[in-house]
Structure 1
Amino acid sequence: METKQHVEYTVADAVVKELVNAGVEVAFGIVSIHNMPIYDAILRDGNIQLICSRGESGAVNMADGYARATGKLGVVITSTGTGAGNAAGSLVEAWAAGVPVLHLTGEVASPYLGTGKGYIHECKDQLSMMNGACKNAVRLRQPEQASSLMKKSIQEALAAPAGPVSLEIPIDFQSAIIEDVTLEEIKVESLPDTKPIIPEKVAAVLAKSKRPVIWAGNGVNASGASKQLRRLAELIGAAVITSQSGKGSIPEDHEQCIGHFAAYESTKKFMEKADLLISVGVRFRGNETSNWKVPVPKEHISIDADWLAVNRNYHATIGLVGDAKEILSSMVDMLERQALEPKSSYLEEVRQLRDEVRTQLRETLGPYEIFLDGMKEVLPRDTILVRDVTVQANVWGSRLYETYEPGTSIHASGGGIGQGLPTAIGAQIGCKDKTVVLMAGDGGFMVNAGEMVTAAEEKLPLIIILFDDSGYGVLRNIQDAAYGRQVAVDLLSPDFVKMAEAMHFDAVRIHSADEFVEELKKSLDNRKPSMIVVDMDKVGPMAKPFGGPPGAAEAFKPKKL
């Protein structure tokens, strides 16, 4: 009779135990001689699904996309040195987007740390490299503290403002035998009905406002505060602007939703007349505010979980620091006990602005207006749209394709190209029953194209819409506007259909907008890994070339500083 082999409890087991205790169901990464004990512990435990990426960069993006789509912790496991370095760029993206990701990486054996002896995979200062890319980076220095450091790292990644935390574990520590320990945090729970006390000044400011604007960011989605935000907007009759990360915080077919149009001239003029801004979980990124040239009213209530967010970019007269859902709930309760004057004429202005910015943008699309309308018609309302950095995604995918709920709009907050494919894979892993669509350009797509095999291996019904113009389209337009010439922007495209088919995708190349809509319907019905390659030369140009973020071309022209 076979007996089960006794396995000593190790640091790797403690790592897996704390992942399971935290509810982790999926981990992404690449196995290596510097993380093999952790992989083996995951296998023996049996509670965590391992997704094998083709690169560390893609693995982090997958964990990132998984976290954004599900609201759960994303977990990624990489090797040491070069492997950790490959992960760094994608960790920067997770940091920029405020995504809770736990990065587990190995390190050289503890006696060789910092010696420069040439231990395999050695890096001069891996911890500093990871710290520069993450919310925080920590090293396990005593094997017996593995459980404690795991719990602390998980909590830190999830704590608002969320972000990636890198935990490095020397390879000799991973196999170190330790005593199992039970760790529980004892908290004094507040009463169920306890809510934040809103300062009296807030009520006075809200009652006085005739032209309020709410600017909603990712903090709304991260805290699950979309219902409270919508109710607040309706109670005070506010226009709602969203950051790109804040898409889904209010349904974009709501008549008070201006959407992701803050930097438009019409919106700037509208903001000049506003008498109150309520910002909720917004970073006010430079490219979304024309480098902070969008005017905001003197009266500004800033709501954020981060103390340092207050007055970082725009002056606030009132700062409310805490969980957005709790604060907005208290504000709504307070307002529902008051009699507020209707703002019918102002709301009509809001509706006019909403229509005006959408009409302006539609007029620039040319044949791609049919692409937009086809996607809106064919795709389910809860489709998760992932957007790499490409012209069509930036112009209309991020603005005119409507988002109705949190977690269904995902984009590259840090602006790095090529991260869309693995991010979409992670989103699809986390939401297997939903439709996930990736919009990408040929230039960026090739950065992580090998991850198509990961999608096929997992049998994901991911739909890729690849806009092929044989180059970096956004940069072409900026260079033309700035210099009147182009450099290093033309690329030789592979035969994307053959490449996709070799990676077990169904694929087709289309030459017109009408073809696109028909092929999108087929891909949706097939529920298989699918790619639609858009021949942009055949489809034709947009009615107005996209010149990048507002002021991009002017910024690159020679000038005196």
Structure 2
Amino acid sequence: MTCNGSDAIAAALEAVGVDTVFSVPSAHNLPILDAIERRGGIRVIGCRHEQGVAHAADAHARTTGALAVGVVSGGPGTANTMGGLYEAHFASSPVLLITSQVESSHLGRGRGYVHEAESQAAMLSTVCREVVTATSADDLAETVLRLRRVACTGRPRPVALEVPLDLQTAIVPPPDAAALVASARVPLRRGAPDAGRLDDAARLLASAERPVIWAGGGVIRSGAADELLELARRWHAPVLTSREGRGAINELDGLSIGSYATLRSMRDFLATCDVMLAVGTRFQMYPTAQWQLPIPEALVHLDTDPTVIGRSYPAAVSLCADARLGLAGLTDLLSEPPPEVATSRSGHLKAGQETAGVARDLVAQQAGPDHLRISATIARHRPADGVLVCDATVPAYVWGDRLVPIVEPRTSIRSAAAGIGPGMAMALGAATASSSHTVLLQGDGGFMLGIAELASAVQSNARIVVCLFDDGGYGMLRDIDALNGGGSNGGFDLSTPDFFAVATAFGARTARVAGPDEFESEFVAALAHDGPTLLHVDMGALAPLRRTWGT
């Protein structure tokens, strides 16, 4: 059988276990897409914009924990992916972008070849760990395998492959499928902790009377939820998570004290802790109240990326290792504490649980009665293994990220870089990786930035419940403007379409919602629908949110 460079790429993608590819087709990537579809082992999801391709692949990777792939065309198509790749980079997602480049004989000559982009690789390198411009069709399969390892090893990052048009169709020897699979199955390297530092860390943990664990997204990326829970039990320590760390521990477990670190009651509790173990986190700006939280000086910081350890808070013990291996190693070294220490830790854990209760009550007050009931409806009916996607919108910030419990890893996705608008594409990516309905919390302003991907969801029959909270503009910016004195208007009052009519025209199931009772009945119906549903929630008909900024 005659094979070309595109066939080699498709074979390599199958070998590494890719089952879904997101794409915007173009004359410059059709050979690759044709090869993928000819083989039949990978589903191609057509998106409506290249930024949507990147966002969907990012969310797919976060949901599965495996490499996700986008295929676009070079030049303007690749430029369109940059916002999505920026988010994937910020969120540490293993995404492979496959794009085109002009024919090899024209590359670098600046003659105005269609979609010519001589600095495309340099542009991609700002948000990718590695960018490869292929120079030989014979190497394409091995390059895909290698880039997958680069993307998935250590702290995950996006990678990119540029394939000149002539190499996509160049004849190559048929790929050895068995050899590709054997190569792909070689386990990814996990960094093991240094034995001496592990001993130092264990001694410091053993000295704690009032311990606390801070779990970040690195716990989930490492697949270390079980190891985290085992260590927390052994150490008798409450677990606080960052927003990206939600799902690292079941938030209904008695050891979980939520993701409330910036609330006053939790800040006061942190000030009483004498030893902290921070795992898989870089202590970002918002989760630390702009680095003002009282993190204990006796800090053990465990992370696979050595550059983040001590960056924001000095570590008493630095432990550079994979989260799963590091947590397991610490658990093995920790013994049961003396009775008096165990009593102290138990009292401290109870104090943490009470503090979390106070924090939840405050968030409930901020949500107000109607939003509180809506959040309770989602919590009650949303499948535990379904993904909750939170765009950058006020309801998500107030209650979606804090009141709807996350009980399994990889079921909470949000705009980690706080960019507005990726929600619809992210929901598409998550839904194509899950057997359960995906729930999206989205504002009307952000929805307009990615509305085209609703058509993608309809075409792919993705089971998504879009909870569209409509306040006629950028409500968050209104609040920020009011906080700063007001008066600018700043373009945040928007003329928006009839979302019911638009979603219906796209072919989505649609309903209007003006209160909590209507929301519950329509939400339950949406979960029974085999396809996307848009619930248009009129925020003007609800009791207002009462959030205080900084909380």
How would you bin the TM-score normalised by the shorter chain?
Answer: over 0.9
Q: State the match for 2:66 in structure 1.
A: 72
CA shift digits 1:425-462 (9 cap, x unpaired): 1111111x212100000000011111111111112221
Instruction: Verify: 1:500 aligned to 2:499, yes or no.
Output: no
Compared CA separation, residues 337 and 267, structure 1 to 2 (3 A): closer
Give, in whole Å, the separation in 1 of the partners of 2:246 and 2:120. 35
- Find 1:137's aligned residue among 118, 131, 134: 131
SS in 2 for 1:364: helix
Q: Percent identity?
A: 35
CA shift digits 1:21-58 (9 cap, x unpaired): 10111111011121111112112222111111111111
> How far off its partner does 1:328 sit?
1.0
Matches within 5 A, 1:138-537: 138-180=132-174, 182=179, 185=183, 197=195, 199-336=198-335, 341-342=341-342, 343-366=345-368, 367-431=370-434, 433-485=435-487, 486-537=489-540
Do the aligned residues in 1 keep the contact of 2:133 with 2:162 (CA within 8 Å)?
A: yes
Give, in whole Å, the separation in 1 of the partners of 2:198 and 2:535. 54
Give, in whole Å, the separation in 1 of the partners of 2:503 and 2:184. 52
CA shift digits 1:260-303 (9 cap, x unpaired): 11222222222222211111101211121122111211111111
Amino acid at match of 2:56: M
Give, in whole Å, the separation in 1 of the partners of 2:134 and 2:386. 40
Q: TM-score, normalised by structure 1?
A: 0.92
Amino acid at match of 2:48: R
> How far off its partner does 1:180 sit?
4.2
Give, in whole Å, the separation in 2 of the partners of 1:520 and 1:103. 35
Give, in whole Å, the separation in 2 of the partners of 1:498 and 1:92. 33
Gaps of 5+ in 1: 1-5, 551-561
Amino acid at match of 2:326: I
SS in 2 for 1:315: coil
Give, in whole Å, the separation in 1 of the partners of 2:193 and 2:320. 13
Q: State the match for 1:557 in structure 2.
A: none
Instruction: Verify: 1:16 aligned to 2:13, yes or no.
Output: no
Do the aligned residues in 1 keep the contact of 2:234 with 2:336 (CA within 8 Å)?
A: no
Do the aligned residues in 2 keep the contact of 1:477 with 1:545 (CA within 8 Å)?
A: no
Please identify, of 520-529 and 163-172, the stretch whose mean Cα deviation from structure 2 is larger.
520-529
CA shift digits 1:337-388 (9 cap, x unpaired): 7657312221221111111111111111112111111111222222311111
Do the aligned residues in 1 keep the contact of 2:282 with 2:309 (CA within 8 Å)?
A: no
CA shift digits 1:174-197 (9 cap, x unpaired): 11122346566599999xxx9974
SS in 2 for 1:133: coil
Aligned length: 538
Give, in whole Å, the separation in 2 of the partners of 1:187 and 1:172. 30
Q: State the match for 1:59 in structure 2.
A: 53
Q: TM-score, normalised by structure 2?
A: 0.94
SS in 1 for 2:413: strand
Do the aligned residues in 2 keep the contact of 1:391 with 1:546 (CA within 8 Å)?
A: no
> How far off its partner does 1:9 sit?
2.1
SS in 2 for 1:365: helix
Amino acid at match of 2:538: D
Compared CA separation, residues 123 and 100, structure 1 to 2 (3 A): same
Amino acid at match of 2:333: M
Give, in whole Å, the separation in 2 of the partners of 1:537 and 1:305. 46
Amino acid at match of 2:422: Q
SS in 2 for 1:403: coil
Please identify, of 241-250 and 515-524, the stretch whose mean Cα deviation from structure 2 is larger.
515-524
Give, in whole Å, the separation in 1 of the partners of 2:380 and 2:37. 44
SS in 2 for 1:251: coil
Give, in whole Å, the separation in 1 of the partners of 2:187 and 2:337. 31
- Find 2:33's aligned residue among 31, 36, 39: 39
Compared CA separation, residues 525 and 364, structure 1 to 2 (3 A): same
Do the aligned residues in 1 keep the contact of 2:424 with 2:451 (CA within 8 Å)?
A: yes
Give, in whole Å, the separation in 1 of the partners of 2:453 and 2:252. 34
Q: State the match for 2:42 in structure 1.
A: 48
Compared CA separation, residues 46 and 539, structure 1 to 2 (3 A): same
Do the aligned residues in 2 keep the contact of 1:14 with 1:180 (CA within 8 Å)?
A: yes
Compared CA separation, residues 175 and 210, structure 1 to 2 (3 A): same
Do the aligned residues in 2 keep the contact of 1:89 with 1:133 (CA within 8 Å)?
A: no
SS in 2 for 1:258: coil
Amino acid at match of 2:98: L
> How far off its partner does 1:124 sit?
4.0
